[in-house]
Amino acid sequence: MSKTELTRQVESALWRHNNEQGTFGCFEVTIGWFGKEIVDFITYKTNGEFRCYEIKVSVSDFNSKANLSFCGDFNYYVIPNCLLDDLRKDTAKRFGKDDLTLFDKRIKNSGIGLITVTERGELNYIVKAKRKHVNMGTKATLLESMTRSLNREVKKFYEKNPYWVTEEVAE
DSSP symbols for 17-60: HH-STTEEEEEEEEPSTT---EEEEEEEETTS-EEEEEE--SHH
Residue 62, classed as helix, strand or coil, is: helix
Nearest to 70 by CA among 101, 39, 102: 39
**80 has pLDDT over 50:** yes
pTM above 0.85, yes or no: yes
Is the predicted pLDDT of residue 168 greater than 70, yes or no? no
Confidence (pLDDT) at 171: 47
Q: Does domain 5-160 have CATH number 3.40.1350?
A: yes
Q: Which residue from 27, 34, 35 is spatially nearest to 54, judged by alpha carbons? A: 27
CA–chain centroid gap for 92, Å, is 25
| Cβ atoms < 10 Å from Cβ of 138 | 16
Q: For 2-25, what is the mean pLDDT?
A: 93
Residues 6+ apart with CB under 8 A from 11: 3, 27, 41, 55
In this predicted model, what pLDDT tens digit does every residue of 34-75 receive, in sequence order?
Answer: 778 899 999 999 999 999 999 999 998 888 877 778 999 999
Helix intervals (H) in the chain: 5-18, 59-62, 81-94, 102-110, 136-160
Who contacts 23 (Cβ-Cβ below 8 Å, separation ≥6)?
Answer: 43, 44, 45, 46
